[in-house]
Amino acid sequence: MNTDNTVPDGALRGVRVIEMGQLIAGPFAGKTLGEFGADVIKIEAPGSGDPLRNWRMIKEGTSVWWQVQSRNKRSIALDLRSAEGQDIARKLIAEADVLIENFRPGTLEGWGMGWDSLSALNPGLVMLRISGYGQTGPYRDLPGFGAIGEAMGGLRHLTGEPDRVPVRCGISIGDTLAALHGTIGILTALYHRKVNGGKGQVIDVALHEAVFNVMESLVPEYSAFGAVREAAGSALPGIAPSNAYRCIDGYVLIAGNGDSIFKRLMQVIGRDDLAGDPELANNAGRVARVAELDAAIGVWTATRPVTEVLDVLAGAKVPAGKVYTAKDIAEDPHYRARDMILTQATRDGYEVEVPGVVPKLLGTPGTLRSSAPGLGDDTDEVLRGIGLTEQDIAALRGKGVVA
């Protein structure tokens, strides 16, 4: 592993990552590694940079999303479509532990940077490749975004109300799931490299496969019973009662599906008859009468405000929760107590509240060591680190290879 001691302490201190991806999936993996101490060098196109810089809401010329996605990274503006830019990339990769890319399959090969050539250059390299459909198979060359992965992975079919247009969950969950699977793959490959002679490997993550991996019993139920699971709104089919229930001023989610939890829930809403009904003592019996149970709970919640419902259920030790908005999250004391809302100074001259680091390692916790970089902020520093002189850098800048 890289032994650069300029990287602050962290579980991944000494791991150098070259991030060639853009937008969400690849960069989210880089973000996660960076939060735990890895030195992440992000390669961006001169002039335009990562498109995420301009996505959604902009403050002082840069997306506030960028401030989260690219913290703890260094930015180098490098034209990977030029021969000189590709040569610089190879030099960086030769000294790296990890390469992250989320281009369409074949792109790096077209630049002379396929796995065979890069692993010959750096046998210990761990390479994460995130794409729509993976590096093999009949669909490998098709373009694919996270939304398509969510559809092909089975998630979109289950999201929404029955017999309505499938809806998305509101965030780019397909991309993020791919990034998290990629991060697991990187950490696994780094461990394997450490204990098995220093050999690197490729991690091949397809967006739809990352989604499919969290689809629980979807395919086994089809295989065993021919059952095609359908959308069910806010309910959890086959597990009861677990649903969203209307209150006077909003909704609460109530998960009363454990046997003892169900009994306490029925008692606290004044339905001792249901609490003591032997047919409802287990999940199978409750599923058979789920409409009756949902109606009973709904009658109780409909006459009460959300805060009262939550207080009563907390006292009865029944899992329940409010449907949080961004305002609710930002003002919640539990989020604050666990450092899940942090204030980050940006390089654009303002402060913004951002999500904290997950997961929480008690011995080597993740940190916000540096704010998200401007395009090419670290180009000169990074190039000097691989032996280029000021004259070399100036010449490359004159040709538009770097910025």
Give me the catalytic one of 39, 79, 97, 175: 175
Catalytic site includes residue 175: yes
- CA nearest to 26, candidates 100, 124, 137: 100
Judged by DSSP in three states, 65 sits in helix
What span, in angstroms and rounded, lies between the C-alpha atoms of 374 and 346?
10
C-beta separation of 95 from 2 below 8 A: yes
What span, in angstroms and rounded, lies between the C-alpha atoms of 67 and 64?
5
Judged by DSSP in three states, 190 sits in helix
Burial category of 247 from C-beta neighbours within 10 Å (exposed 0-12, middle 13-18, buried 19 and up):
buried
Amino acid at 291: A
What span, in angstroms and rounded, lies between the C-alpha atoms of 334 and 339?
9
Amino acid at 137: G
Q: Which residues contact 85 (CB under 8 A, 6 or more apart)?
A: 78, 79, 401, 402
Count the Cβ atoms, other than its own, within 10 Å of residue 260.
9
Phi/psi of residue 389, each to 5°?
Answer: -90, 170
Q: Which residues pair with 130 in a beta bridge?
A: 205
For the annotated catalytic residues, the residue numbers are 175
